[in-house]
Amino acid sequence: MGNHKEWQIVCRDVAGRRRDLTVFVRQGRVVLVAPPGETAVLAPLDVGRLRAALRDAVLDASKDE
């Protein structure tokens, strides 16, 4: 993925299994990848991590413009 960062945020699916949300930047756009075919269930602390990752990704994406 070149010099772009990638963020992983831990979550759970509805069955309680550990999964990851992934955030990265591609062509100046923020991409959020959820567990395939799953629902992401986030603890409050993980929501904060997702928010921080999205903020950092937006800053990274703005460098591509």
Query: What digits encode the pLDDT tens for the residues 3-17?
Result: 668 999 999 988 999
Enter the pTM of the model.
0.76
pLDDT at 1: 43
Reported as half-sphere exposure (CB side, CA atoms, 13 A), residue 60 has a value of: 20
C-alpha–C-alpha distance, residues 56 and 9, integer Å = 13
Annotated domain spans of the chain: 6-64
pLDDT at 2: 52
pLDDT digits (tens, 9 = 90+) for 29-47: 899 998 887 788 889 999 9
C-alpha–C-alpha distance, residues 15 and 44, integer Å = 18
Residues ≥6 apart with Cβ < 8 Å to 35: 11, 13, 19, 20, 21
**CA dihedral for 46, 49, 53, 59, sign (positive or negative):** positive
